[in-house]
Chains A and B, each alone.
Chain A
């Protein structure tokens, strides 16, 4: 099989390969080589202008990136575009969407729907609260572990472990821990002489409870990212700060943490995307599409509208708005990375 391909590529497919370089033949038959070279030059005349515009080897490298690119265009961006098209219709129930009258009705409907407004607020609070809290906890853990403590690896593993667990598992854990009567949190709180908290049942508390559970799960990830960032800072910076008479606190705030900007940004983006996917956690928490009152987010609302009511157009409109939210997080990051020359 491989030999056959080799034969194939050797004879039929060689010319375009040679096209860019036009390297004089160091192979067996120089007559064939000359012929190839002529063809190669002809092809170069077509390809070179394209390459001049788009960068070297644009056309030659296309076998690498073009097929996946086309698949991505079709299955990811095509699906998003189709989803957007559906959101402009009034599609509900079964059958085919009617694309003849497109309007923004579903978006207007969302803006007038108190459930949607509530879910959007909850999503924002969840994304911001979760990301900030996780970064702070992760940074703290990273600094502590970076102090050269004993059992450093063990601690690192312990903190990272929750991230390896599925949302399905952690949601059940936390459901038990949040139980009003015999959950460990209320056991501790009552032992301290405080009143027990209705973690899941109180709409004012449940969002905080969910954020807390997610922070627990992902702070280990933030820790690892920060740890890598800290290890990249030369020891001299610490020493210089010490010699200048800075306290440990000042040293971290003025010297070390500013250098962790890159780590912060990349960890923040990943965490925000995780928090938009909190659907899994909420689904597992209640075993259904309807999270406890006070913690309904756009992802759960979208699925509920689509699959409980078969209101596909409305569900698509919510999906598009959720997508724009995610894009507004990722977009600036991509621009930032691009400006720094990392893309």
Chain B
């Protein structure tokens, strides 16, 4: 009797459970439907929030992005769904964006590089040519930005700011100790001589280079090629007609630098560790995009022109190797009108001032008075170099020079042949193969 009762109640329990589960499932699908209708009815009446995805989650990037957002919200009546995704350079952001685009659930706009980098988003980018027209962006922004923001003849993105890639930063005290004058280093071979002098005269690292990732080496290769082989050789490399001898000579110079003058622990340090070597006075030189200057500026008691200095990478004095941070506009946009308000804002004076002065990049607009907007001495110098540059070649590693697939191949080559031991011959073959049409 008792046994039977427990069995019954257990069974009842099971059935209750199953019914609850079934109802729960039904409830889920009901909720889903409800969501759909809710947004459907909301859309026509009210501007929906624009989802903005970007990778600026820390340090000066976060400060700059937050300021960009706040300035927008103070001036426009559009709600933002702010979605920063950090980690792995921009890799996590790219992965999330790729999944969202793949699932036909794009954000309003996302930060990325323009140029050949747009190729990997072929077919999912919308047209913002109307914004470029209405806002007069073609006149306001540097000429180099125009083609780089186009795909199939239409504008797909709006630039926010620009970093320079061909920089050589140095710790003033260390170069003084070694008796080296950075301004006199105007070609790659005199850079090697200067590194040799630092190695002989001091116990510091002549050139700090973080090789935790391969991207630092790839971008150093690009600057070295530009400085040593010149603008035309570099451009024909990007265009898919590499001069093998020039590629090889670049690798030879790079081998000299990387096997003799960088720190022994380079494989275990990245950008931050490498910057710290300059800030702490452990190293004389570093090659980096001028986002590195942000780390220097923000260090206590480390002043521009007194404690650290910057010059163009040797041999590239009259050039500015371009980098753009831009916002890309997905087609099939969940909030087209509101997003276009955002895109128009990104290319405006307000946005470019709000963002770049904290990010440590310079505006892509040519009509902004940097001195009058607290940009600080370093960025003013960078903007002068930008304005006076004879050539503004696109960078190799950050999307403007080659398509993503080629960039991956180049980094594969660096990883397997040029991250120590350095194999000039194989690396040359790899690079030539990777870019050749």
Binding site for B on A (CB under 8 A): 2, 5-6, 8-10, 13, 17, 23, 26, 63-64, 67, 93-95, 115, 118, 175-176, 178-183, 196, 198-203, 283, 286-290, 292-293, 296, 303-304, 307-312
Contacts and interface: CB of A to CB of B under 8 A. Distances in A.
B265 A283 contact: no
B353 to A, nearest CB: 31
Interface in B364-388: none
26 contacts: A2-B16, A5-B20, A6-B12, A8-B19, A93-B120, A93-B123, A94-B123, A180-B263, A180-B265, A180-B268, A183-B268, A198-B264, A198-B267, A199-B268, A200-B267, A203-B419, A287-B87, A287-B89, A287-B213, A289-B88, A290-B213, A296-B415, A304-B408, A309-B120, A309-B405, A310-B404
Interface stretch (B91-99, B227-235, B308-316): B91-99
Nearest to B119: A93
A8 B408 CA distance: 62
A304 B91 CA distance: 9
A70 to B, nearest CB: 11
B166 interface: no
B12 A9 contact: yes
A337 B329 CA distance: 54
Contact of B268 (A13, A201, A203, A288): A201
Contacts of B211: 201
Nearest to A303: B95
Contacts of A202: 267, 420
B309 to A, nearest CB: 26
Closest 8 pairs between A and B when the two form their complex, measured CB to CB = A201-B267, A180-B265, A9-B15, A180-B264, A200-B267, A94-B124, A63-B18, A5-B16
B16 A181 contact: no
Contact of A288 (B91, B407, B421): B91
Contacts of A180: 263-265, 267-268
Contacts of B419: 201, 203, 292-293
Given A6-B12, A287-B87, A288-B91, A181 B265 contact: yes
B244 interface: no
Interface string B67-99: 000000000000000000001110100110010
Contacts of B121: 94
A26 B268 contact: no
B265 A26 contact: no
Contacts of B264: 180-181, 196, 198
Contacts of A67: 21
Contacts of A6: 12, 16
B186 interface: no
Nearest to A291: B415
Nearest to B420: A201
Interface in B397-412: 404-405, 407-408, 411-412
Contacts of A303: 95
Contacts of B21: 67
Contacts of B269: 179
B126 interface: no
Nearest to A294: B416
Nearest to A301: B412
Contacts of B89: 287-288
A2 B14 CA distance: 12
Given A9-B16, A201-B420, A26 B120 contact: no
B122 interface: yes
B253 interface: no
Nearest to A309: B405
Contacts of B265: 179-183
B102 interface: yes
Contact of A201 (B4, B266, B270, B408): B266
Given A9-B19, A94-B123, A310-B120, 6 more contacts: A9-B12, A10-B12, A64-B14, A180-B264, A198-B267, A293-B415
Nearest to B125: A94
B213 A17 contact: no
Interface in B14-73: 14-21
Interface string B230-250: 000000000000000000000
B4 A292 contact: no
A182 B268 CA distance: 11
A17 B416 CA distance: 66
A283 B88 contact: yes
A2 B9 CA distance: 13
Given A286-B212, A292-B267, A13 B102 contact: no
B408 A309 contact: yes
Interface in B265-283: 265-270
B411 A5 contact: no
B408 A200 contact: no
